[in-house]
Amino acid sequence: MRGGKLHRALAPSPSIKFIGKAKIRAELYRPRGEEYPGAVRTSKANRFVHGELYSLRNPDRILKRIDEIEGCDEGLFMRRLVDVWQNGKKQRAWTYLYGKSVSSAEPLPHGKFLPVMLSRR
């Protein structure tokens, strides 16, 4: 997220463009003892996690770098293609979902910690 700790992995770069705020159908948790949140998919119609949508000119290179930062090899997060709503329109985009158990995590019921979501374009 712009202004967040990991935003430097996305900016500044002419191959990355901020599209706007967006949301995914998921529930948000903060793992016990951690400073970061994790989104987990849900089928509940009224649960959303709010984030930011970006367009990537060189997605393979950029996503590989973000995969490393997000700990995908260790199973901390998983990159998944999901439905994203932005300005009332649905599209598909990559996002990072939490890969561990949330059984002892603190739920963040308003879905506001703002994970980054990345457009497939």
> Tell me, what's the pLDDT at 114?
45
Instruction: Find the domain containing 29 and state its range.
Output: 7-119
Is residue 39 included in any domain, yes or no? yes
Give domain status of residue 105, yes or no: yes
1 inside domain:
no
Q: What is the pLDDT of residues 94-109, one digit of tens each?
A: 999 999 999 999 999 8
Most confident of the following: 11-15, 21-25, 32-36, 116-120: 21-25
Largest separation between any pair of C-alpha atoms in the chain: 40
Contact indicator for 54, 84 with CB cutoff of 8 Å:
no
More confident residue, 84 or 5: 84
Q: What is the mean pLDDT of the chain?
A: 87
pTM of the model: 0.84
Of 2-6, 47-51, 85-89, the range with the lowest mean pLDDT is 2-6
The domain that contains 108 carries what CATH number?
Answer: 3.10.490.10
Total domains in the fold of the chain: 1
Q: Which range is least confidently modeled, 46-60, 83-97, 106-120?
A: 106-120
Asked if residue 2 belongs to a domain, the reply is: no
pLDDT (mean) for 82-91: 95
- pLDDT above 60 for 116: no
